[in-house]
Structure 1
Amino acid sequence: MTFPVRIGVQLQPQHADYGQIRDAVRRAEDAGVDVIFNWDHFFPLSGDPDGKHFECWTMLGAWAEQTERVEIGALVTCNSYRNPELLADMARTVDHISGGRLILGIGAGWFEKDYDQFGYEFGTAGSRIADLAQALPRIKTRWAASNPAPTRDIPVLIGGGGERKTLRVVAEHADAWHSFGDVESLTRKSAILDEHGQAVGRDTASLVERSVGVSRPPEEVVDPLVAAGATLFTIGVSGPDYDLDLVTRWVAWRDAQG
């Protein structure tokens, strides 16, 4: 494989007190995961729609101090919520706080309630993807102009599956691509991503890591996903309990690969 097999967990910052989230971060790092993600929303996506919830990037700053080994990031940041230059500087700061362990996960945005309640213009799917395409070069330009510069080339993970526009942006700018859907969707869209890569002059087959969310034990789903090129497997868990049993099964599977 071009990329090592890695296990992530998305600690969804909903329906929990922050102390419970902090404890889940500790348990996830102790369990041996490679990446701990949150998400970038302002309200829960499941359960009580007005339940407890916390903001993404202030949380990532806290995680950067709390953790020692794991990479951290959002799965994914909504491009619409912050000026690209501001987001770049926030990411650079968390990169330094963490000692070079930040992944900039980013997407075009989709949850209309966030936009309405916080005063952002929702626009259309097309306009949001166009905004994302314009933001990524600005983010990288700001990183290049920053003092101090980021500690490393901060990896950019883009989430989304639009075959004509989003995957083109992935081909142009991403180090990793998070696919939403089943193995058939991953296989088809991964091939389309590589076609976009050829069009823009990037070998996406070897340069862009394939990331997927998983909700079943590895023995039930992993072989076709690996065959389709996935190497980063992320389990989503919600508060208040943050049950990591499935996460530990995936970590054990990873470790058994030798």
Structure 2
Amino acid sequence: MTPTANKPIRIALQLQPQHAEYADIRRTASEAEDLGADIVYTWDHFYPLTGDPDGKHFECWTMLAAWAESTSRAEIGALVTCNSYRNPELLADMARTVDHISGGRLILGIGAGWFQKDYDEYGYEFGTAGSRLNDLRDALPRIEKRLSKLNPPPTRHIPLLIAGGGERKTLRMVAERADIWHVIGDVDVVERKSRILDEHCAAVGRDPNEIERAVFVRGEPGDNAERLLELGVTQFVPSTTGPDMDLSSLRAWLKWRDSLSA
């Protein structure tokens, strides 16, 4: 499968909102857009994942609403929203609202959740990996139904990104509903998971080429970039974090993207 034939190669940045002042986060999001990033993502946690576990941190969706005003071209979204933290109908309304504020630039990224400290500190039931995946499965049609009822409706079909590589449940949900699939892993992992996703697509009657495939990347593009392209990956996501907010990896991947069309 080679969806690169009909999908643009896109470079996204995951801007991790930890160990930094909000002014620096806002400046970095705008700088990433000015450099040419196609998408700027945040994440959905309540505490840092690296460094001081009680360090500075900011909430995801409040910040996305602010980014909707402070940026103007790049798509924005969470990589990814934790399904457990918000009622599905409320999340749909939040997404619709940020979609309007941004002028139709929101990507609704969602996953089942995994960071137990968030759950414990904020009073959510952690459950099990299986129960959280079941909750996500049940939430997705509720989100779709609420989006169809809202007045005014979204400005466009809000792209749904589902993250994860669970071969039985997650990839089935991706095949059934996602516009974008994000997976974490090396080339061998991406190859295996992509093959299984294709099998789920065949089972549900979905053209696998309809699904944009995204993966985290580090450093500068190398041979793995070409191998990932061959596997159908067209969205590449370097990341940066506070307090320094280094964009050198983003710059390298943007240069690579632009060289392919030169």
| TM category, shorter | over 0.9
SS in structure 1 at match of 2:77 = strand
User: Which whole-Å deviations, capped at 9, do the CAs of 1:77-128 have from their partners, x for residues lacking one?
Assistant: 0000000000000000000000000000000000000000000000010110
RMSD of aligned alpha carbons: 0.7
What corresponds to 2:59 in structure 1?
A: 55
Query: What is the match of residue 238 of structure 1?
Result: 241
| Aligned-pair CA distance for 1:221 | 2.6
**TM-score, normalised via structure 2 length:** 0.97
The amino acid that maps onto 2:90 is L
State the shift of 1:184 in Å.
0.6
Shift in Å, 1:225: 1.0
| Secondary structure of the structure 2 residue equivalent to 1:218 | coil
SS at match of 2:29: helix
TM alignment of 1:38-187, pairs within 5 A: 38-187=42-191
How far apart are the structure 1 equivalents of 2:251 and 2:219? Answer: 12
Distance 1:145 1:51 in 2: 40
Alignment-mate amino acid for residue 238 of structure 2: I
Residue deviations 1:173-195 (CA, integer Å, cap 9, x gap):
10010011111111111110111
Q: In the TM superposition, what is the alpha-carbon distance from 1:256 to its structure 2 partner?
A: 1.1
Which consecutive unaligned segments of at least 5 residues does structure 1 have?
A: none
Aligned residues: 257
After superposing on structure 2, the runs of 4+ consecutive aligned residues of structure 1 that deviate more than 2 Å are none
* 2:145 aligned counterpart, secondary structure: helix
CA apart distance, 1:220: 4.5
Secondary structure at the aligned position of 1:198 is classed as helix
Query: Residues of 2 paired with 1:172 and 1:122: CA distance?
Result: 26
**What SS is found at the alignment partner of 2:18?**
coil
TM-score (structure 1 length as normaliser): 0.98
Aligned partners of 1:15 and 1:82: how far apart in 2?
A: 24
Q: Give the aligned partner of residue 5 of structure 1.
A: 9
2:204 equivalent in structure 1: 200
State the SS of the aligned residue for 2:24. Answer: helix
| Shift, 1:241, TM fit | 1.4
Distance apart, 1:219 and its partner CA: 2.6
The offset of 1:236, in angstroms, is 1.0
Residues 195-242 of structure 1: per-residue CA shift (max 9 Å, x gap): 111111111x21111100001211343111111111000111101111
Q: Work out the percentage of aligned pairs sharing the same amino acid.
A: 65
